[in-house]
Amino acid sequence: MQSTPKLTKKQESDFCLACGECCKRYCITVLPEEANKISKSLGKTRKDFLENDCVLNVKLFLKTTPGVLTYPSTFFPKRIFDLLKKEIGSVGESYFIVPQVVLKREEKKTFKFKDKKSIIETRNACKFIRPENNCDIYEARPAPCRLFPFIAMPGLREQYPFCELFQKTYKDLSIESKIYYSKVQDYFKEIDNKSFTSFWRTPPTSGAIFLQDKEIGTISLEELELMMPKKQK
C-alpha cells in the first residue's frame, strides 16, 4: 500500500505548476452553503451571484427503475425531447435528472506551461481565474476546488495526467471527499423532496443540458421545472 506523507503548503506548491488546468477543464459544482460563502466574499447578494456568476448544468441518464430524481420523459418539453431524439434516435421512458448549479465559464487569457516555459493562451475557463492563473475566490472556493486533484478514488491517478501534483504526491483526502459526497447525496435528496426551484429559490435561469457527459444543447429553468414536476409523497 502506498504511504501517504503529510505535505506542507510549501511542498505542495513546489509540485503544483499553478497551470490552472483544473480551472480550464472542468465545470465546478456549487452547493447552497458554498454559494452563500462565495457571494459574501464577493460582496454580493446570493441572488446576484447565482444569476450572474453561475449557470445550470443538467445531466440526463437513462433509467428504467423509479428512484430519486427519476422522471418519465412524457414531462419533457418538445424541444428537449427533440434534442434527445436527434442525439440518439429515440427517447427512453424515464431518466435520472441531475440538476447542478455551476460556476460560469468564459473565454479567458491565462498562462499555459509548456517545456518549462509559460505562454499566454486564450481558453474557456472558470470566470474567476485570473490571467496569472490565480483565483478571485480562492479563500471561499467550492469543495471540488479545495479537494482537487485528490478527490479522485485511489488507483485512478490516470484521470489527471496533466496534474504534476497528483502524479508525484499521495496526499489522502478520502475522508474529506466522503464528507463532500455525503453532502451531495443529501443535496439531491432535498431537491427530490422540495423541487429544484423551491430548494434554490433564485437559481440561474439558463444553462446547458447533457446526455451523460456529452453536451447536447441549452436548457432554461422553465424547461427544467417541467421536466421535474413535484412528486406525490
Per-residue model confidence (pLDDT) at position 6? 62
Per-residue model confidence (pLDDT) at position 1? 42
Whether residue 161 lies inside any domain: the answer is: yes
Instruction: At 194, list the grid cell.
Output: 422540495
Whether residue 233 lies inside any domain: the answer is: no
Per-residue model confidence (pLDDT) at position 153? 58
pLDDT averaged over consecutive 10-residue blocks of the chain (233 residues)? 57 74 93 97 97 97 92 95 94 95 94 80 93 92 90 63 78 85 93 92 96 96 94 67
Per-residue model confidence (pLDDT) at position 149? 84
In this structure, how many other beta carbons lie within 10 angstroms of the beta carbon of residue 46?
17
Whether residue 76 lies inside any domain: the answer is: yes
Which CB contacts under 8 angstroms, 24+ apart, belong to 125-132?
Answer: 125/20, 125/23, 125/24, 126/23, 126/24, 126/28, 127/53, 127/103, 128/23, 128/53, 128/103, 129/20, 129/23, 129/24
Whether residue 214 lies inside any domain: the answer is: yes
Whether residue 64 lies inside any domain: the answer is: yes
State which residues form the domain around 223: 9-227
Whether residue 232 lies inside any domain: the answer is: no
Per-residue model confidence (pLDDT) at position 140? 96
Q: Secondary structure of the chain in the HEC alphabet?
A: CCCCCCCCHHHHHHHCCCCCHHHHHCCCECCHHHHHHHHHHHCCCHHHHHHHHEEEEEEEEECCCCCCCEEEHHHCCHHHHHHHHHHHCCCCCEEEEEEEEEECEEEEEEEEEECCEEEEEEEEEECCECCCCCECCHHHCCHHHHHCCCCCCCCCHHHCCCCHHHHHCCCCCHHHHHHHHHHHHHHHHHHHHHCHHHHHCCCCCEEEEEECCEEEEEEEHHHHHHHCCCCCC
Closest-CA residue to 71 (of 222, 220, 215, 195): 195
The number of distinct structural domains making up the chain is: 1
